[in-house]
Structure 1
Amino acid sequence: MITFLLVGLIVHVVFFISIFDIYFTSPLVHGMTPQSIPLKAPASRLVLVVADGLRADSLFSLLPNGSSRSPYIRSVIENTGSWGVSHTRVPTESRPGHVALIAGFYEDVSAVAKGWKENPVEFDSVFNESRRTWCWGSPDILPMFAKGASGDHVYTHTYPAQEEDFASTDASRLDRWVFDQVKSFFQSVKSNSSLGASLLEDKNIFFLHLLGIDTNGHAHRPMSKEYKENIGLVDSGVADLVSTVEEFFGYDGKTVYVFTSDHGMTNWGSHGAGHPSETLTPLVVWGAGVQKAQRVNEVQPYADGYLQDWQLEHVRRVDVNQADIAALMASLIGVPFPVNSVGVLPLLYLNNSEEFKAESMYTNAIQILEQFKTKMSQKKETTLSFLFTPYQFLTESKQVEITNKARILIQLQKYEDAVSCWVIPCRFNKCRKLLTLCLCVALLIILFLLVQRSPLTYYIYCLLPVPVWYCVLKESGTLTDLVQSAHSLPLWKCLRYFVLVAFGIELLVVSFFHRSVLTIGLAALALWPFCSGLFSKAKWRSLSWFLGCLCLAAFPLMPVVGREPNVDVVMCAGLLILLTSFCYLWSSRHKTPLHTSDRPQFVMLHVAVCAYVPSLTHSSLLQKQGLPLMNQIISWSTLASSIVIPLLSSTRIFHRLLSILLSLTSTYFLLSTGSEAVFPPVLSWLMFAWINIEQEALLAQGVAGRQEVSSIDFAANIDISRIRQLKLDDIRRSYFFVFFIITAFFGTGNIASINSFDPASVYCFLTVFNPFIMGALMMWKVIIPFIIVMCTFETIQVSTQLSSRSLFLIVLVISDLMALHFFFMVQDYGSWLDIGTSISHYVIVMSMTIFLMLLSVLTHVLTSKRIILWRRTKIHFP
């Protein structure tokens, strides 16, 4: 069994890792020559202000009385600058947003398996190309660009990470700190001649990262007074900043200002997904080289309705993609375009000669073309010549033709024609191998890979099927026996099972795209006792199964994001599970009396406390009194003891399962803010019904030696002679298990809910922003329903007298069939949302296969092992 698990684990881990090496290696290339505009830049310095988490509508919308909460920015839009909406891409998070703004490319697809604070590969940025850059703000963002800069010319000033506290009474102090530091910096320059000389040079950048709005949005929601007042604070801070900068440089008119945001925020205080409130961010640019506000009378080409709501239809709006801002900043201060940038220069923001615009666009296009040429050269070197197909729109001759034509048009002063030369369908599509390697002799595979100078990992991927197929063919005798005995099997029953399972697998695949499909599946499963004839033999157990399926079917229909906190539901869930536990203990007091060392009443009391703690914490935070220390102690001690407490209880099946349920749901309640708290009790109800009804199904099959579930002890040695052979009904059991595992994940969430998780879920544990601890807590919350289902499957395996190896083989086959679906759906082109969705589905299914192998070991320990803290010692008297 151990060998089987190890071999299976290794095979699945290798194929799981393979997609990251094949599809998701970094697309960034290096070695390009930086491209600069040959003309003098209009601005000598740039001030970049990024208001983290600021939505476009929150900045641009007017108050009911017709005034603006950001009067200074509003005056810039209507009089002295240009404005528009910056469209971000998923994931709408701080790191990819700032990388797009400052480096000009979108989240590297290889970052899906990396940390969130730093991009996993080196990249160029506007900061790196500047003469000097001074930064003030969050310790989570600024070091990323300082680390990636060549030399020592990016200077960062950050506040302590502990200041990023969601429970803070005034998160806007983070922004005050930045504005105060910048003002103090310019004042200190007056007494530092060398620093003052550095500031007077050109191509300098000042970057202000303002985190207060984002923090207030998470803590109080974007519709709150705190969020809106923070916008006003930022507006007045920007006004003072402009006065300070202009006064220092003597109003020389050589400063350009860019005000924008890295991402927006939903009404419920989250970001990371693709809702318009997250992807629409403001962009306001003014100063040297920027087109002033343009009055328009005709209808603008934006049919989203925002202009009328914002009452800005009279001022020209120019929308951009977020990566375009890096190209715009580089053009304005005359630094080379970041070599990895894919942004296209938005010409309508420039107030300069047509020659400057044409030269800027030419340089921008050459910079992007350099990336294409480098990538094509690398691909050509590692691909057999007869397999390499150049991109037809940008062959080497086409490149020369377009660049020469654009240069001639600029020399002839036909600038508009020169700009239009670059409107070509230029895309970066990674060539997929046209040749698919089938089952080949290992030597031929090695020779083929040697010719292509492939990486070592490719040998593993291509050679691994050889030993796998060897193992299959080694069991040819068993396969032959199966074929020969097929005539004795009930053909109609076999066909029905395989058709139903095939349909069920497709249903699970579709559920990854539409959670509501699980509701249909649960409704179908609810009818199983009636269709199989079990209802007539076990009416109450069948009704319990039926009602459990229908109650669980409601959860996939609930929204996964945007749910307002409702801690009263958490307390109701606590009462529900306590009532269920009490009823079980009362009904089973004669069949399975409690052991003297069992103390379920203490665990039940602990559940009640944990169900009340979120309400107490939520109330304290609303009153801005912070996280109570006692609540934090209870939460962390509950988390630490959640695995240990079940090991102290009896190993009889239902007593141990009840202990596991109570212990795990205590932690789950502490991590819940609303209706999701009801999910574990309902899931557990259905799992208990499944265990009981499987006993009736076993009796209907005529399995000899069947024993009552309540009398089974997890810790008892299994009698090998009673282990039976696989039957067709075991395929159904394995499918039920896979279905419930998928339901355990998608029942209360999906990819978007994990990507946009509400920080309020972890407020019982901590309120200071810490992505790794918060992420770990949310992952444990996701895993708890898995453990409940896994313990149930362990129980069914024991109670149905079947080898766990046999059942797991069926589960692996079903999981791998699902994985094959998603393997062929993986794509490495399109938007980040398309790429992320395709890979996340494959990752989830492959992770599930690997994860279930590891989780089976944990659940075996959790169900069958026991810690005895004390023993009664018998005293013998002489």
Structure 2
Amino acid sequence: MLGHNDFFILAGILVHCVFLVSIFDIYFSSPLVHGMTPHQTPLPPPAKRLVLFVADGLRADSLYELNSNSTPRAPYLRSILENNGSWGISHTRVPTESRPGHVALIAGFYEDVSAVAKGWKENPVEFDSVFNESKYTWSWGSPDILPMFAKGATGDHVYTFCYTAESEDFGAQDAAKLDVWVFDHVKSFFNSSRSNQTLFSALNEEKVVLFLHLLGIDTNGHAHRPNSREYKENIKKVDEGVKEIASMIDNFYGNDGKTAFILTSDHGMTDWGTHGAGHPSETLTPLIVWGAGVNYPRKVTSQKFEDNFLKEWKLENLKRLDVNQADVAPLMASLIGVPFPLNSVGTLPLEYLNNSAHFKAESMFTNAVQIVEQFKVTKHMISLCKTLINLALEGLSYYHTYDRLFLGLSIAVSFVGWTTYVILVIIKTHTNLTKAVQTNNKESTVLFYGFAFVGMIIAFFLLIQTCPWTYYVYCLLPIPVWYAVVKELPVIQDLATNLLSLNVVQSVGFIFICTLGIEILVFSFFYRSTLTLGLFVFAGWPVITQLWVQAKTSALIWTFLCVLLAIFPLMPVVGREPNIPLVIFTYLVWDGRDPYIYYVSHCLIPVFSTHDSLKNKQGLPVLNQMISWMTLVSSSVLPLLSPTFLFQRLFSILLSLMSTYLLLSTGYEALFPLVLSGLMFVWINMEQEALQHYGLSLKPKVTLAVFNFTCATDITQFRQLHLDDVRRSFFFVSFCWLYVVMSFSCFSSFDPASVYCFLTVFSPFMMGSLLLLKVVIPFVLVSCAFEAIQVTTQLSSKSLLLLVLVISDIMALHFFFLVKDYGSWLDIGTSISHYVLVMSLTIFMMLMNGLAQLLTTQRLQLSRRTKHHST
């Protein structure tokens, strides 16, 4: 049977899981609609076939700029844009990731953020694409990109040829081999068609698409950075490969002039080898179009753009035609005469077309009809078509967000109700502010039926609206939550009476300080430097409270470590180069002598050679990889082998988890747990002094050096909560989120360097899990220290846990209203991360309490062989 406390914890976990999941239904439901009729331009298209080259991770400046000796980096493509085709910049919309970029290029819409739950690899919903509308599409390249367009296609006319996932290795000798693989297989494919009549006939059909996905540049960019020799050499290889493929295809079709070619990229890359955010290096990608139906280069005397790239690229006299990334899909559809993708939001870039005004007008009309099927208007009004497109998109956005208000209001009401209930439980159970009040059974019955009636009305409303089952959960959740609150009405009345006797100024001042502290934590998610200011305030805590008088040494160390910790929020999170020597230095500092940690810590020595091996293109050593995974697995068990005396056990937990943490570190962040754990040990001592300072102790001062976690705590020695305990809870939340705020950006901008000791083959979920573990480790360290503080300050773990839940829920409600489903991936990812991390803290705290008790109190006894001595 579940006890009252167990039921409360279970209910809390379920409620917060609903809060966590709700944002994906409220903010991140798919905006795509289905059931439209496809439309295509009725006039004959200029091209019979189209070849699409997507150089993954290629920046516009990296392709267009000249080498130091003023020679083109990509000679063939440079000659195309100067003599044969049109060129410009494709402006990508963030998230600047591979899947959203390819969806925008080929399907014509910007990937809705519901795909984030699928890791940008699986189709959250089915969608139409140029490939699906083609007669045949053949594609070559990455298994992460190609299958999603075949999966969304109707019938059997989209064919994929992929290399293995293991080939996408960031530690490989030369990632350009991925592009060579594509070029070689395309050549073999066309050669084999000469002896395969069925394939030969299919290739000679109209409305054919050939898609070459070239991942080498992106992989080399991640591994070596975009300014590296490897990245630039890969561009040259792509240029040579495009030249060979274009020439081969022209020869295959007898130079019939019916082939259109497009080269572009899904996204760019920052100078430090990441992408996902909205920096121009990530959002400006090249677009070069040539062949059938495409305009030739146009000379201009002057042209103005916000950037100054034209002079740098020596292209100021050639007309630059910029487009939005989603505009490429209608351009491809128009060139080969297939229906525009049904969910496309792109606008056909007319300046790229070399065709009659009639053809352009018909194409623009088709573009408009594709978005609004019932549109009936004179076909020559191109400008009106553009206006209608914008109005239709606004209408789609309105209906997509139609349910957001009442769903968001339901969750907000539940949030407020749950937080109120937890506060009442704290006051009723763990303070002396109220007396035990008996609940009137008759009133309780009336309340129950009253709330049940309201719930039935809400359920009936949802039923006639044919809402999804999740809507019932979100809208009915406030009923039991507020029922629990209203049941405590006698407690509220008793509390109100008692509060009148308290010092009003002191109470208002305390509430103001608590509110200000929470707002500072919220503000720190947007401006990390705020944490530095907060840590300076923490540093002055012993002085402000006169605690330093009785704990001079501890207070001095506390102040020093707080000031030292305050430096970390000012350090960069992204855009920094790996600093492996600093990681090794940290390892040497942590080289402990704990008998159970000693062996593992020394096994880590060869693992640090991993980064040198990758730098020399020798791949990830198998032995290093095995040691890394063994270390990760064993780090959760080794602390249980050490004695359960307070400092010995905490030190063992620290050393063991640090072994894994250092393997996931590439720079200064390796020093963070060194400073943080030192502060945690001092914090435990300081709280002992504070307990005596405020006269709250129920027994003599605990000697921490001999305190044993396994000693049973007498429940009669538990004390009631004091205002100072709110500060303890606030300190705990602040220390946890100090690192979380500093590190969450690693999820918003993909940089695989941190996980190279474990794997180098691209695997988003595995890499993401390892990065999450890196964030959790300091959180576990602080939780174990907090557990020590609870037991040494004579508090039940539940009382401080409830205070932490209140602080976390108030923060979470802030971020619930700040979640975004628009803007850059950095903006979207940041808003999701804020809410998810705060909600995760709330959920984890109910689980972490048990984990901290397990890590601190349990011990595994290894069997030892008894020695027999002769008498």
> TM-score with structure 2 length normalisation?
0.91
Change (3 A) 1:832 1:33: farther
Determine whether 1:606 maps to 2:606.
no
Letter in 1 for 2:84: T
Distance in 2, Cα, partners of 1:823 & 1:218? 33
Instruction: Report if the CA contact (8 A) 2:565-2:676 is conserved.
Output: yes
Q: Counterpart in 2 of 1:652?
A: 645
What is the CA distance between 1:77 and its match in structure 2? 1.0
Determine whether 1:737 maps to 2:732.
yes
Instruction: Report if the CA contact (8 A) 1:16-1:843 is conserved.
Output: yes
Match of 1:867 among 835, 841, 860: 860
Change (3 A) 1:353 1:420: farther
The one-character-per-residue Cα deviations of 1:43-94 (angstroms, maximum 9, x if unpaired) are 1000001111111111011011110110000011111111111111222111
Match of 2:469 among 456, 462, 473: 456
Letter in 1 for 2:531: L
Distance in 2, Cα, partners of 1:804 & 1:735? 15
Residue correspondence of structure 1 range 699-718 to structure 2 within 5 A: 699-702=692-695, 703-705=697-699, 706-718=701-713
Match of 2:630 among 611, 614, 637: 637
Distance in 2, Cα, partners of 1:274 & 1:875? 72
Change (3 A) 1:421 1:627: closer
Change (3 A) 1:733 1:777: same
Range with bigger deviation, 832-841 or 843-852: 832-841
Residue correspondence of structure 1 range 128-207 to structure 2 within 5 A: 128-207=132-211
Distance in 2, Cα, partners of 1:331 & 1:523? 62
Change (3 A) 1:516 1:76: same
Instruction: Report if the CA contact (8 A) 1:163-1:174 is conserved.
Output: yes
Distance in 2, Cα, partners of 1:835 & 1:538? 46
Name the SS of the counterpart of 1:258 in structure 2: strand
Name the SS of the counterpart of 1:600 in structure 2: coil
Q: Counterpart in 1 of 2:616?
A: 623
Determine whether 1:33 maps to 2:27.
no
Match of 2:77 among 73, 82, 99: 73
Q: Counterpart in 1 of 2:110?
A: 106
Match of 2:751 among 748, 754, 758: 758
Name the SS of the counterpart of 2:156 in structure 1: coil
Tell me the percent identity.
Answer: 60
The one-character-per-residue Cα deviations of 1:594-643 (angstroms, maximum 9, x if unpaired) are xxxxx704524633553x44541122222222222322222111111000
Q: Counterpart in 2 of 1:841?
A: 834
Change (3 A) 1:199 1:141: same
Determine whether 1:369 maps to 2:363.
no
The one-character-per-residue Cα deviations of 1:688-730 (angstroms, maximum 9, x if unpaired) are 1111101111111211214122322222222111111111111
Q: Counterpart in 2 of 1:117?
A: 121
Distance in 2, Cα, partners of 1:54 & 1:309? 18
Instruction: Report if the CA contact (8 A) 1:362-1:419 is conserved.
Output: no
Letter in 2 for 1:315: L
Instruction: Report if the CA contact (8 A) 2:142-2:215 is conserved.
Output: yes
Determine whether 1:467 maps to 2:467.
no
Letter in 2 for 1:404: K
Change (3 A) 1:745 1:418: closer
Instruction: Report if the CA contact (8 A) 2:110-2:326 is conserved.
Output: yes
Instruction: Report if the CA contact (8 A) 2:300-2:317 is conserved.
Output: yes
What is the CA distance between 1:757 and its match in structure 2? 3.8
Q: Counterpart in 1 of 2:443?
A: none
Q: Counterpart in 2 of 1:543?
A: 556
What is the CA distance between 1:835 and its match in structure 2? 4.2
What is the CA distance between 1:828 and its match in structure 2? 4.2
Distance in 2, Cα, partners of 1:101 & 1:190? 31
Name the SS of the counterpart of 1:183 in structure 2: helix
Name the SS of the counterpart of 1:259 in structure 2: strand
Q: Counterpart in 2 of 1:746?
A: 741
Distance in 2, Cα, partners of 1:232 & 1:863? 58
What is the CA distance between 1:199 and its match in structure 2? 0.8
Determine whether 1:825 maps to 2:801.
no
The one-character-per-residue Cα deviations of 1:488-547 (angstroms, maximum 9, x if unpaired) are 544444333221110011111111111111111111111111101111110111111111
Residue correspondence of structure 1 range 247-266 to structure 2 within 5 A: 247-266=251-270
Letter in 2 for 1:70: A
Letter in 2 for 1:476: L
Q: Counterpart in 2 of 1:325?
A: 328
Instruction: Report if the CA contact (8 A) 2:121-2:144 is conserved.
Output: yes
Name the SS of the counterpart of 2:170 in structure 1: coil
Distance in 2, Cα, partners of 1:834 & 1:561? 15
Instruction: Report if the CA contact (8 A) 1:568-1:615 is conserved.
Output: no
Distance in 1, Cα, partners of 2:623 & 2:77? 45
Distance in 2, Cα, partners of 1:112 & 1:294? 41
What is the CA distance between 1:30 and its match in structure 2? 0.8
Name the SS of the counterpart of 1:281 in structure 2: strand
Determine whether 1:480 maps to 2:474.
no
Instruction: Report if the CA contact (8 A) 2:65-2:312 is conserved.
Output: yes
RMSD: 2.2
Q: Counterpart in 1 of 2:846?
A: 853
What is the CA distance between 1:367 and its match in structure 2? 1.2
Q: Counterpart in 2 of 1:388?
A: none
Q: Counterpart in 1 of 2:446?
A: none
What is the CA distance between 1:836 and its match in structure 2? 4.1
Range with bigger deviation, 124-133 or 425-434: 425-434
Distance in 2, Cα, partners of 1:160 & 1:418? 45
Q: Counterpart in 2 of 1:670?
A: 663
Name the SS of the counterpart of 2:549 in structure 1: coil
Q: Counterpart in 1 of 2:438?
A: none
Letter in 1 for 2:594: P
Determine whether 1:774 maps to 2:767.
yes
Instruction: Report if the CA contact (8 A) 1:604-1:662 is conserved.
Output: no
Change (3 A) 1:536 1:417: closer
Instruction: Report if the CA contact (8 A) 1:406-1:418 is conserved.
Output: no
Distance in 2, Cα, partners of 1:568 & 1:646? 27
Distance in 2, Cα, partners of 1:233 & 1:829? 37
Distance in 2, Cα, partners of 1:799 & 1:421? 69
Name the SS of the counterpart of 1:535 in structure 2: helix
Letter in 2 for 1:172: A
Letter in 2 for 1:105: F
Q: Counterpart in 2 of 1:727?
A: 722
What is the CA distance between 1:830 and its match in structure 2? 5.4
Change (3 A) 1:678 1:131: same
Distance in 1, Cα, partners of 2:318 & 2:849? 63
Match of 1:404 among 361, 364, 376: 376
Determine whether 1:290 maps to 2:294.
yes
Determine whether 1:568 maps to 2:553.
no
Range with bigger deviation, 229-238 or 461-470: 461-470
Segments of structure 2 that go 5 or more residues without pairing to the other structure are 418-450
Change (3 A) 1:625 1:456: closer
Distance in 1, Cα, partners of 2:325 & 2:49? 21
Distance in 2, Cα, partners of 1:687 & 1:325? 55
Instruction: Report if the CA contact (8 A) 2:748-2:825 is conserved.
Output: no
Range with bigger deviation, 728-737 or 822-831: 822-831
Change (3 A) 1:849 1:733: same
What is the CA distance between 1:417 and its match in structure 2? 7.0
> TM-score with structure 1 length normalisation?
0.90
Q: Counterpart in 2 of 1:378?
A: none
Q: Counterpart in 1 of 2:359?
A: 356
Name the SS of the counterpart of 1:750 in structure 2: helix
Determine whether 1:305 maps to 2:308.
yes
Segments of structure 1 that go 5 or more residues without pairing to the other structure are 371-399, 582-598
The one-character-per-residue Cα deviations of 1:125-167 (angstroms, maximum 9, x if unpaired) are 1111100000111111111111111111011111121111111
Q: Counterpart in 1 of 2:442?
A: none
